[in-house]
């Protein structure tokens, strides 16, 4: 699994060789043993009918299947109401909270929609063929149910601070929810474990990795190996850190103001570009859909048969939308609402946008342009294949695609700065000085990500992010009856008209 996981992280159109020397090598050497131990645990693989299944993927997908059945396929039934909530039909400005439903969703989506949606899908198809796309879509739909549970719990157990700001997320619902279930001995340790892990993880995969990839895309735009900025990662990193600092100084409201404009722009630009490519190759669309469906159930398909491509699709979806990781619940918890279930409905849309829409469109772009069965199992590097697919139809699209990739990385940094901040303040307490210390530290790591090669640190943070799925999903299983009771109560009052639709009134 670890090799596959690292393949998913190969996202640069060009690769900038950053040699680990001096302090880089010393840090890598010190962290590598711990990284190896943690990675071998969290990405441990089991064999199922000859195909390798990482246990963490089984843990994530198992939860998604459980919650889909437990909430009676709300992921398929809840679309209309989710759109009504996003439109503000049931919103009141005097509700407790900091963000509108749309701002909360935009902030959360900015943390999951990223370069992986462009690169990861291409790698899955190049390894597993078109059939993996079907299982990616299925897993995306299933993940919507886990995200619903996380978002409802995030609002149910959030903490309202004295200044009116909100603190929420898995660390809070693990502590408060388990206390409520008479599991006080487990509550604080699980909350603290999650908080520490999210702080460590945010500095790697949500910070250094993103800034490094943004720098690589910038180098490509400015001339590749001939770029004047090739050896000026410190400059790019410092400017990026400064911009991020100006945004995050305003807290979640400042982040939301940017992401609520940036995410729709990025997403719509990418979707429109992808649809344009697909429409211009419309004659291949029927074949693409046929290949997706037939190869999804083809026992003789590549990469381990039907089960092999199913696992490929499932793990790409799990790594893409982060359903089960719980990070997005930190942003969703800040919503202005008195009804926790409303944010659960809104949260349903996150895996749908991230995985079902964007990842599927990426797959269709590749399948209708450059895909050939002969490339299966060659492991063609991700964004290079997607870039080739776009440029085969739209020759001018490579530079805009790189620019969008930079924006994806930037928006991800913004969201993860808030996730890490809330983990940090959970540990040390809510105060202005504690917040400022973290923000300064976070911005320093942005610059470091562009200048030094800390591979072991990035691998360690990557593994830590998936470790948090263990306590998070366990907590959600324990809290599932309370979440379901909240949902039934909300649906009853919605049906009776007790909950008002302000657009209709």
pLDDT digits (tens, 9 = 90+) for 197-241: 999 888 887 888 888 888 888 888 887 777 788 888 889 989 999
Q: What is the pTM of this model?
A: 0.86
Find all residues with CB under 8 Å of 74, minimum gap 6, and list them. Answer: 145, 148, 348, 487
List beta partners, residue 48.
51
Helix axis angle, 131-156 to 360-367, nearest 10°: 170
Q: At a CB cut-off of 8 Å and minimum separation 6, what does 281 contact? A: 368, 369, 393
Higher-confidence residue: 329 or 15? 329
- pLDDT of residue 379 exceeding 60, the answer is no
Confidence of residue 157 (pLDDT cuts 50, 70, 90): very high
For residue 472, pLDDT over 90 is answered with yes
Backbone angles phi, psi at 45, to 5 degrees: -105, 145
| 248, 254 Cβ separation under 8 angstroms | yes
Better-predicted residue by pLDDT, 192 or 398: 192
Q: Are strands 159-160 and 45-48 parallel, antiparallel or unpaired?
A: unpaired
* Rg of the chain over all Cα atoms, to the nearest angstrom: 22
pLDDT at residue 205 in the model? 79
pLDDT of residue 342: 94
Contact 365, 278 (CB under 8 A): yes
User: Among the listed ranges 60-64, 354-358, 479-483, which one has the minimum average pLDDT value?
Assistant: 354-358
Q: Which of 63-77, 219-233, 379-393 has the lowest mean pLDDT?
A: 379-393
Nearest to 305 by CA among 292, 291, 295: 295
Higher pLDDT, 242 or 21: 242
Token code pair at residue 115: 């370069």
Beta-carbon count within 10 A of 500 CB: 12
Least confident of 76-80, 114-118, 492-496: 114-118
Q: Can you give the pLDDT at residue 309?
A: 66
Lowest model confidence (mean pLDDT) among 173-187, 237-251, 362-376, 407-421 = 362-376
**SS3 state of residue 503:** coil
Among 170-179, 296-305, 412-421, 440-449, name the one with the lowest average pLDDT.
296-305
| Choices 1.10.20, 1.10.287, 1.20.1740, 1.10.3720: CATH for 20-27+49-496 | 1.20.1740
> pLDDT digits over 110-124, tens only?
887 776 667 777 777
pLDDT in tens, 159-173: 988 888 899 999 999
- The residue ranking higher by pLDDT, 353 or 34, is 353
> Do 151 and 44 touch, CB atoms closer than 8 A?
no
Would you state the pLDDT for residue 217?
83
pLDDT, residue 374, reads: 57
* Model confidence band, residue 301 (pLDDT cutoffs 50, 70, 90): very low
In the chain, pLDDT over 90 holds for what percent of residues? 33
Question: What count of Cα atoms within 13 Å lies in the side-chain half-sphere of residue 22?
Answer: 4
Q: Is residue 253 very low, low, confident or very high in pLDDT (cuts 50, 70, 90)?
A: confident
Phi, psi of 408 (to 5 degrees): -55, -45
Give residue 93's pLDDT: 75
Residue 146 has pLDDT above 70, yes or no: yes
At 6, the pLDDT band (50, 70, 90 cuts) reads: very low
What pLDDT score does 456 carry?
Answer: 67
User: What is the distance between the alpha carbons of residues 190 and 170, in angstroms, rounded to a whole number?
Assistant: 9
Reported as a pLDDT band with limits 50, 70 and 90, residue 504 is: low
Q: Per residue in 10-33, pLDDT tens? A: 333 333 334 444 666 777 777 778
For position 15, what pLDDT does the model report? 37
User: How high does pLDDT run on average in the chain?
Assistant: 83
Q: Is the pLDDT of residue 8 over 60?
A: no
Structure tokens given for 74: 């709300």
Choice between 412 and 17, residue whose per-residue pLDDT is larger: 412
pLDDT score, position 33 = 82
Where residue 66 falls among pLDDT bands split at 50, 70, 90?
A: very high
pLDDT at 191: 94
Q: Please state the rounded mean pLDDT for residues 453-461.
A: 69
pLDDT of residue 18: 41
pLDDT of residue 14: 34
pLDDT confidence of residue 20? 45
What band does 38 get if pLDDT is binned at 50, 70 and 90?
Answer: confident
Task: Say which residue, 398 or 349, is predicted with more confidence.
Answer: 349
CA nearest to 415, candidates 103, 109, 160: 109
Report the alpha-carbon distance of residue 228 to residue 305 in Å, rounded.
48
Query: Of 98, 110, 57, 131, nearest to 316 (Cα)?
Result: 57
């Amino acid at each position: 699994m670890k090799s596959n996981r690292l393949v998913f992280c190969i996202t640069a159109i060009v690769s900038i060789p950053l040699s680990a020397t001096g302090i880089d090598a010393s840090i890598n050497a010190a962290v590598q043993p711990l990284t190896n131990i943690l990675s071998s645990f969290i990405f441990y693989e089991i064999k199922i009918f000859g195909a390798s299944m990482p246990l963490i993927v089984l843990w994530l997908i198992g939860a998604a299947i459980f919650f889909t059945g437990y909430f009676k396929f709300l992921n398929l039934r809840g679309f209309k109401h989710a759109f009504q909530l996003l439109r503000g039909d049931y919103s009141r400005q005097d509700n407790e909270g900091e963000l509108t439903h749309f701002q909360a969703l935009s902030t959360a989506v900015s943390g999951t929609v990223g370069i992986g949606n462009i690169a990861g899908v291409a790698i899955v198809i190049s390894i597993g063929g078109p059939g993996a796309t079907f299982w990616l879509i299925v897993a995306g739909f299933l993940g919507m149910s886990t995200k619903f549970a996380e978002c409802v719990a995030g609002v149910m157990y959030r903490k309202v601070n004295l200044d009116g700001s909100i603190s929420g997320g898995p660390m809070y619902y693990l502590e408060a929810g388990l206390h409520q279930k008479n599991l006080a001995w487990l509550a604080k340790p699980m909350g603290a474990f999650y908080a520490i892990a999210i702080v460590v993880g945010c500095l790697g995969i949500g910070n250094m990795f993103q800034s490094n990839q943004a720098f690589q895309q910038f180098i490509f735009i400015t001339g590749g190996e001939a770029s004047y900025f090739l050896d000026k990662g410190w400059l790019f990193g410092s400017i990026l850190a400064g911009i991020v600092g100006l945004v995050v100084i305003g807290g979640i409201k400042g982040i939301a103001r940017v992401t609520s404009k940036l995410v729709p722009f990025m997403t719509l630009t990418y979707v429109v570009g992808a649809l344009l490519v697909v429409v211009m190759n419309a004659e291949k669309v029927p074949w693409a859909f046929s290949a997706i469906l037939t190869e999804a159930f083809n026992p003789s398909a590549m990469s381990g048969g039907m089960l092999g491509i199913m696992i490929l699709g499932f793990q790409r979806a799990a790594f893409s939308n982060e359903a089960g990781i719980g990070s997005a619940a930190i942003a969703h918890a800040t919503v202005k609402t008195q009804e926790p279930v409303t944010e659960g409905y809104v949260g349903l849309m996150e895996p749908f946008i991230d995985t079902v829409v964007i990842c599927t469109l990426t797959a269709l772009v590749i399948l209708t342009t450059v895909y050939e069965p002969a490339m299966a199992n060659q492991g063609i590097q991700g964004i290079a294949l997607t870039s080739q697919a776009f440029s085969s139809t739209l020759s001018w699209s490579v530079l805009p695609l790189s620019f969008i990739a930079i924006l994806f990385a930037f928006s991800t940094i913004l969201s993860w700065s808030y996730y890490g901040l809330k983990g940090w303040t959970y540990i040390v307490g809510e105060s202005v000085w504690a917040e400022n210390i973290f923000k300064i530290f976070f911005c320093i790591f942005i610059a470091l990500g562009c200048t030094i090669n800390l591979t072991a640190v990035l691998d360690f943070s990557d593994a830590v992010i998936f470790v948090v799925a263990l306590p998070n999903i366990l907590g959600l299983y324990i809290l599932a009856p309370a979440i379901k009771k909240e949902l039934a109560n909300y649906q009853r009052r919605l049906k009776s008209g007790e909950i008002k639709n302000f657009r209709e009134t």
